Structure 1
């Protein structure tokens, strides 16, 4: 297959130069689902670009009859963030103009709709495909109104323009996959939403975190929360409906790195998921992988209780028991006393799945996380 390639202007710089998005769209011989996959929303999280490159190469050798529906691939989806540097380190987690996390800026229809229960009542006796079409039209019609502010004389801040560009590409997708890594050093795992465990197992990851506690306005959250809200509304009316709409964030190893094993896990996971969903038509069956699931509310992040230097930290991937030592802090007192070592122990059992890159911490800075 040969993709349709679109270059979409994103922002014009003071120099007159433009930063752009590039979209690779593969369309199958028969209609079907729309899959949207993007990478590098946070500037330092580059591994997903390698995943998308390998997926492009994979789709290019497929016959058009082996793809149902369409797949949209957007590498380097945040060129402004990707190009931010501080010494040798990539930053790019926050918009330098507004100080906002690039993945906490997205428009969430669930927060603005006022007639959800009334809509559910009007649709409760319809078939699920008709309900899905009607609700998607409501979301899109509301989304279109955002252009009024963009084209007004006062215009909008860049984060609002940026989010509009990405969400205009993805808002009508059936399946959304956002490729990330840890900001620091992390294991491979995914974030998922309620009632999607069986689908999650087809990404072939060992660990999954249920987003039962939202940070707010993240790309995957903003996409799926309206659908989750509608499912809950139908449940109150006595009808159980789970829409075939899914959003995923895949965390592929460590920031500022393209770790081959993490890239390969991402590629194989996406392929297997698309096979499971019937997007790929191949002479093989998708497989499910047994996973360990945790809720986001069960995660414990550890922050330095004092300033100093982190020593003897347990390795990434360690299984720890409550009361076991996680790390020490070497603290230099400025009150005439000798330096001291402070032991920090686990509050509960769990797996160390993410650790900070920097071993020098101010009081209150992040050190590691346990699921």
Structure 2
């Protein structure tokens, strides 16, 4: 089937040029859920574009009857950050105009002063009716943001941008935001409480449970209102869980299109969409991973350089280390008429090396690696 393709203007530049994003909609012949996928919110994290491209190629081979509901895909969802360069290096994690992380700007209905409490009439409603009414509240509040955007005073660009992007997924059932490490990392997924079993359909070895977050990342802003509503309903004797899920896939490292990470992403997403009955394709869904390890985000240990120098003898990605074993060495120079020193940095606990810095030259206090 051929998707509906639309181009959405993002920013008009002083030069007269206009930056845009492109949306691909695959609308199935049968009613069903809506899945929204995007990639490249951070400029250096380009691997998701290859994942979305391969998904588009795959979906075009299907008949409309093999899709229940809708699949929306947005590659290169942040052209500003994707095009940002410093010499040959793609950066694009932060908006160079205001210094904000591109994935820490999004509007969370629950944390806004417009978010209502749990109305009593929810208690008598079935789950689908609750979802419909609550979504309308979110959409109504979200629509008010446009009034400020279109006012004479307008708003900073990051508020205009987030409005454009979030407007595409506000009514989605499943959101998948594809990232990669800004440095180098194994493949894993971020998810939220109550959705751990669904995470296993992505067929990855590691999942990180967001047991602590502030709500303004893209995945958080989407699901946080629904998690909060679940909590409020549970406290008044109506325990439910909405079939609404939000994921951040972390595939490989920045500035790279690692074929293995791309393949894992494509296979995992196809399997997840089949498990959610959006895709009806032969051979899917595959059994959920029985070996996936779920780790709380708060258990991650990040290591920073205690002195300036050059990193050497660092353990490879995916290595297991025992407490007390060496993680890496720092070759430390000085201006004190002394010989350079080699300093061993050892693990404070057992763990897996899952993320490492790309730059082997570090100033004191700069990031080196993470253990889970």
Measured in 2, the distance between the counterparts of 1:149 and 1:113 equals: 16
SS of 1:181 mapped into structure 2: strand
Measured in 2, the distance between the counterparts of 1:144 and 1:114 equals: 12
**Alignment correspondent of 1:346:** 347
Measured in 1, the distance between the counterparts of 2:115 and 2:175 equals: 25
Per-residue CA distance 1:262-310 (angstroms, 9 max, x = gap):
0000000000000000001124341201201100000001111111111
Shift of 1:88: 1.2
**Alignment correspondent of 2:87:** 87
8 A Cα contact 1:116 1:233, kept in partner: no
**Alignment correspondent of 2:172:** 173
Measured in 1, the distance between the counterparts of 2:163 and 2:364 equals: 37
Per-residue CA distance 1:186-216 (angstroms, 9 max, x = gap):
0000000001011000000110000011154
**Alignment correspondent of 2:333:** 332
**Alignment correspondent of 2:228:** 229
Measured in 1, the distance between the counterparts of 2:339 and 2:214 equals: 41
**Alignment correspondent of 2:301:** 300
SS of 2:298 mapped into structure 1: helix
SS of 1:124 mapped into structure 2: helix
Measured in 2, the distance between the counterparts of 1:348 and 1:239 equals: 41
**Structure 1's 219 and 350: CA in aligned 2 closer, same or farther, altered over 3 A?**
same
SS of 2:181 mapped into structure 1: coil
8 A Cα contact 2:118 2:229, kept in partner: no
Measured in 2, the distance between the counterparts of 1:54 and 1:300 equals: 34
Measured in 2, the distance between the counterparts of 1:158 and 1:177 equals: 24
Shift of 1:113: 4.9
8 A Cα contact 1:355 1:368, kept in partner: yes
**Structure 1's 306 and 179: CA in aligned 2 closer, same or farther, altered over 3 A?**
same
Q: How many residues align?
A: 370
Measured in 1, the distance between the counterparts of 2:150 and 2:298 equals: 40
Instruction: In structure 1, list runs of 5 or more residues that go unmatched.
Output: none
SS of 2:10 mapped into structure 1: strand
Q: TM-score, normalised by structure 1?
A: 0.98
**Alignment correspondent of 2:111:** 111
SS of 2:328 mapped into structure 1: strand
Per-residue CA distance 1:126-177 (angstroms, 9 max, x = gap):
1000001111111010000001110111111111111011001111110000
Instruction: In structure 2, list runs of 5 or more residues that go unmatched.
Output: none
SS of 1:97 mapped into structure 2: coil
**Alignment correspondent of 1:142:** 141
SS of 2:139 mapped into structure 1: helix
The Cα RMSD (Å) is: 1.0
Measured in 1, the distance between the counterparts of 2:150 and 2:89 equals: 36
Equivalent positions of 1:194-343 (< 5 A) are: 194-286=193-285, 287-290=287-290, 291-343=292-344
SS of 2:167 mapped into structure 1: helix
8 A Cα contact 1:9 1:20, kept in partner: yes
Equivalent positions of 1:32-71 (< 5 A) are: 32-71=32-71
SS of 1:16 mapped into structure 2: coil
Measured in 2, the distance between the counterparts of 1:307 and 1:342 equals: 11
Equivalent positions of 1:350-361 (< 5 A) are: 350-361=351-362
Equivalent positions of 1:6-45 (< 5 A) are: 6-45=6-45
Measured in 1, the distance between the counterparts of 2:129 and 2:159 equals: 31
